Structure 1
Amino acid sequence: MNVTGHTTRPASIRDVADAAGVSYQTVSRVINGHPSVRPATRDRVLTAIEELGFRRNATAHALASGRSRIVTVLTANTTHYGYASILQGIEEAARAASYAVGIGVLESAGEAAVKAEVQRASDAGGGLIVIAYDRAGVRALAAVPAGLPVVGVVETPASPPGGESPWVWADDRAAAHEATRHLLSLGHDTVHYVAIPSSTRRTSARTAGWRQALREAGAAEPRPLQGSWGPAGGYAAGRRLARDPAATAILCGNDDLALGVMRALHEAGRAIPDEVSVAGFDDSPLAAYLTPSLTTVRLDFTGLGRAAFGLLHGVLEESATVAPHPVSAPELVARESSGPRQHPPRHTPRQHPGAVPPT
């Protein structure tokens, strides 16, 4: 505190220049290690920086280097677990590199709305990271102007992309394959699947991994049920599956869907895991604390966000070559919601008197 009781403001680059008796441009050269500064001048500036406690911020560095140290993330969602964790990873990595992060929300998948948001992000300078897990994100990634540094966080590609595609992804296909094999290994004849929406019209990687495991085992391939991103979609699908005595194992496209499925099975009197095994996807924080705790596949979304920023940072700093790549391997986390198939089932499906109508 100073004598007037007001908080002392942080020293600025101009304060350092005044104390050292140089221009603020000279201070910028010293901060950035420019070789044209005389040793005596450099010493005066460094002494002033130390005495004033000056700390360079991202804006000051941008002025000195001519580069904008900001990254804008374009995303259609900021709340679902995967999206939010990716944002967390991007922010952590950006902060460590003294970059600021802005977020542009894609409120619509309409072409005009997407282009307008991409333009706003482009005007901010720096680079872009697009979370392309939905139609709006896919369109935004395609609409980024040529020459603007961009990295896409995408679904697992159907085939390895070329070096011109700066993408990162988690191996969803391998994850769904592993979860399906786990359920089949417990003696279930087949595994039903409640799918999350895909970012494209093709079969999603998670659906493809589930189907591949069934085919390798010679198991029947039930038609996937299309869910949403949240528990309500899982609840609606679960009500349908609860009426089918042959549905003894269910894989859900994310943990939120699994939560809705488990509620519907509980209301129908189908015991988990004695009558029906349920597995989710993502290992969200709630998964370990459900009753029963949820078997799921752990994906490192935070690490995915850090990798996306790292790839973009290399491009912005001209220190790395763009190379698309998957990030980390999925990990099956077996918990209480999956178990051996019972022969025969102990109960017949019923409707719980407290059932909630689907929303």
Structure 2
Amino acid sequence: MVNPHRVHRAASMIDVARRAGVSAQTVSRVVNDRPHVDPATRARVLEALEHLGYRRNPAAVSLATGRYRTIGVVASTLTTHGAVLVLDGMTEEVARHGYSLTLSPLRAPTLGAVSEALTSFAGAGVDAVVLGVESELVRSLPRPLVPGLPVVVVDGAGTTEGPTAESDPAPGLLAAMTHLLDLGHRQVRHLAGPPDSATAARRRELWRGFLTGRGLDVVEPLVTDWSAASGLAAGAELLRTDPAATAVVAANDQVALGLVRACADAGVRVPDDLSVVGFDDVEHAGVAVPRLSTVQHDLREVGRRAVRQLLHDLGVLPQAPPWPVPSAFVPRESTAPPPSPPPSPRAGQQWSNSYPGTPRGSRSRSR
């Protein structure tokens, strides 16, 4: 008679090896996602694992391999759409390889807070770290960032930590600028991201270099904090102080959508009176009114490649991913030829590099 209270022994690695006709060492390599296993052999082992219901003991694996199969993430913000997409890509990729994420969000992106987060990871059972903070902070941190652990920096342009998880804004942004000039625009302004962001600095340099290379006026950009609210405020200031502008390239789509709202509040038509280009190609960009022309880059792919880079550094994957992730321009409804003739600035008006806390002023433009 079968004892209903009998506890069945869990399948062991040896059981899996016997069923697959391989050594226990080969099973171990497959279970731990190691390279240099013949694809047909790997398939047999995976079938045996599934058939026998093999489940790894995380504590035993950590003791045997010195690995925790966990990647730590230090995040300076989770409030921007871009940061969420990068994290989503990392979550997707670690799951594919049987790893997990441990997230350490910062209450404030200060040097002390980042140092504390990295120190906590040094003894907290993680195998590698993704550092998602601005480059200025990274350059100020003591070296090594996390002793004994590989680190990949997101938004790390200008750092010397090896590979940085980033996209290349040049192809898409230069195509967007060419698009605006082909439409006839000669007064292309910029709403820039935060001054301490390497990402914002790179986009600002590309915008400036493009205009300078074609002998066009470069007016100092207004500064935003990546949010739609800051785009709304900066947009209101732009409309009030710079009626000569016929096109604006925004730091990201959220800032661009805030600018579009400022235009609606001021009775300025997009794109009839002002063309607007964003950056990121977030979901809302394709359903906004008007649909937003933008620079598209795959931020989820940035997150996926960041994980693959760390797994390569750990010896799990044989090849490192290519960097950076490319970008492309997506023209939609928010860009059109400029008004003809464009209005001239009123006497005494100047561009400002700051903006008030609340939008004020308006302008109306017509063809």
Q: Which range moves more in the overlay, 69-78 or 337-346? A: 337-346
Which of 25, 28, 33 is equivalent to 1:32?
28
Compute the displacement of 1:52 (Å): 5.2
- Equivalence for 2:40: none
Once the two structures are superposed, the pairs formed by residues 200-211 of structure 1 within 5 Å of their partners are 204-211=201-208
Runs (5+) with no aligned partner, structure 2: 16-22, 31-45, 347-356, 361-367
Q: Matched residue of 1:151: which SS?
A: strand
What do the CA deviations read for 1:226-279 (whole angstroms, capped 9, x no partner)?
011101111111111112220110110000101111111111111111110001
- Equivalence for 2:257: 259
Compute the displacement of 1:107 (Å): 2.0
Q: Matched residue of 2:283: which SS?
A: coil
Compute the displacement of 1:341 (Å): 0.9
Once the two structures are superposed, the pairs formed by residues 187-266 of structure 1 within 5 Å of their partners are 187-199=184-196, 204-243=201-240, 244-266=242-264
What do the CA deviations read for 1:41-84 (whole angstroms, capped 9, x no partner)?
xxxxx999777522336555434433221101111112311111
- Equivalence for 2:83: 83
* Mapped partners of 1:286, 1:201: distance in 2: 25
Query: Given the two structures, how large is their TM-score scaled by the length of structure 2?
Result: 0.76
* Mapped partners of 1:100, 1:202: distance in 2: 27
Compute the displacement of 1:199 (Å): 3.6
Q: Matched residue of 1:101: which SS?
A: strand
- Equivalence for 2:71: 71
Residue 15 (structure 1) aligned with residue 13 (structure 2): no
The answer to whether the 8 A contact 2:211-2:217 is kept is yes
Q: CA 1:317 to 1:339, structure 2 compared with 1: closer, same or farther past 3 Å? A: same
Paired residue type of 1:338: T
Which of 303, 306, 328 is equivalent to 1:305?
303
Q: Matched residue of 1:279: which SS?
A: strand
Runs (5+) with no aligned partner, structure 1: 21-26, 35-45, 350-355
Q: CA 1:203 to 1:257, structure 2 compared with 1: closer, same or farther past 3 Å? A: closer
* Mapped partners of 2:272, 2:278: distance in 1: 17
Aligned residues: 324
The answer to whether the 8 A contact 1:109-1:135 is kept is no
* Mapped partners of 2:47, 2:324: distance in 1: 44
The answer to whether the 8 A contact 1:29-1:64 is kept is no
The answer to whether the 8 A contact 2:72-2:128 is kept is yes
Q: CA 1:97 to 1:273, structure 2 compared with 1: closer, same or farther past 3 Å? A: same
Q: CA 1:88 to 1:28, structure 2 compared with 1: closer, same or farther past 3 Å? A: farther
Q: CA 1:184 to 1:55, structure 2 compared with 1: closer, same or farther past 3 Å? A: same
- Equivalence for 1:128: 129
- Equivalence for 1:116: 116
Which of 168, 183, 193 is equivalent to 2:165?
168
* Mapped partners of 1:358, 1:105: distance in 2: 32
Q: CA 1:337 to 1:132, structure 2 compared with 1: closer, same or farther past 3 Å? A: same
The answer to whether the 8 A contact 1:131-1:137 is kept is no
* Mapped partners of 2:308, 2:118: distance in 1: 21
Q: CA 1:96 to 1:201, structure 2 compared with 1: closer, same or farther past 3 Å? A: closer
Q: Matched residue of 1:275: which SS?
A: coil
The answer to whether the 8 A contact 1:138-1:199 is kept is no
- Equivalence for 2:312: 314
Q: CA 1:209 to 1:129, structure 2 compared with 1: closer, same or farther past 3 Å? A: same
Compute the displacement of 1:306 (Å): 0.9
Q: CA 1:147 to 1:246, structure 2 compared with 1: closer, same or farther past 3 Å? A: same
- Equivalence for 2:335: 338
* Mapped partners of 1:96, 1:201: distance in 2: 30
The answer to whether the 8 A contact 1:130-1:140 is kept is no
The answer to whether the 8 A contact 2:72-2:121 is kept is yes
Compute the displacement of 1:200 (Å): 5.1
The answer to whether the 8 A contact 1:186-1:341 is kept is yes
* Mapped partners of 1:320, 1:49: distance in 2: 23
- Equivalence for 1:38: none
Query: Given the two structures, how large is their TM-score scaled by the length of structure 1?
Result: 0.78
* Mapped partners of 1:228, 1:308: distance in 2: 24
* Mapped partners of 2:187, 2:143: distance in 1: 38
Q: Matched residue of 1:336: which SS?
A: coil
* Mapped partners of 1:52, 1:232: distance in 2: 55
Compute the displacement of 1:322 (Å): 6.5
Identity %: 32
Residue 95 (structure 1) aligned with residue 95 (structure 2): yes
What do the CA deviations read for 1:116-141 (whole angstroms, capped 9, x no partner)?
11111222231001123465566569
